[in-house]
């Protein structure tokens, strides 16, 4: 099922000294941490944070990651990272946009894909667990209301 980004969460951050490389721009690997922070904000919005995920008996490994770097971020820049849930049947697909907080400059775009696996056996679950789908539907109801 696709939501066209109807479910999203934003995080704001400031680029710290330890995030930049020797030429003064954010090292590409640090963007993954920025994405992860936005993804967990989205999961919290769905009331599916780490504790609830662990209680559900499902794990959600990332099986695909794509990123496109558009413009460099530098030390001291304020960034906004948006995570938008765009698929949730059979897999989770989340689109990300990293942009400058003040000017909206597009810094990077990314997409992650996760699959549900049984936390004990490690077996792939071919359908998204019902408890997660229920949380998405509840959140969609809040968005549309």
pLDDT per position as a tens digit, 64-112: 999 999 999 999 999 999 999 999 988 999 999 999 988 889 999 999 9
pLDDT per position as a tens digit, 4-49: 457 999 999 999 999 999 999 999 999 999 999 999 999 999 999 9
8 A C-beta contact, residue 49 and residue 40: yes
Residue 96, CA distances (Å) to 22, 34, 81, 121, 131 in order? 26, 10, 7, 30, 24
8 A C-beta contact, residue 27 and residue 67: no
Cα–Cα distance measured from residue 20 to residue 31, given in angstroms and rounded to the nearest whole number: 11
Largest CA distance in the chain: 49
More confident residue, 1 or 82: 82
Model-level pTM? 0.90
């Amino acid at each position: 099922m696709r939501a066209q980004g109807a479910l999203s969460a934003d995080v704001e951050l400031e680029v710290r000294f330890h995030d930049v490389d020797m030429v003064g721009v954010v090292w590409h690997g640090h963007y993954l941490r920025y994405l992860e922070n936005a993804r967990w904000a989205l999961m919290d919005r769905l009331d599916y944070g780490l504790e609830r995920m662990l209680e559900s008996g499902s794990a959600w490994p990332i099986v695909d990651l794509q990123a496109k770097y558009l413009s460099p971020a530098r030390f001291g820049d304020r960034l906004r990272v948006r995570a938008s849930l765009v698929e949730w049947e059979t897999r989770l697909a989340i689109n990300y946009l990293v942009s400058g907080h003040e000017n909206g400059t597009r810094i990077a775009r990314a997409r992650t894909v996760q699959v549900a696996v049984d936390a004990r056996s490690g077996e792939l679950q071919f359908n998204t667990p019902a408890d997660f789908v229920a949380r998405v539907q509840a959140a969609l109801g809040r968005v549309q209301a």
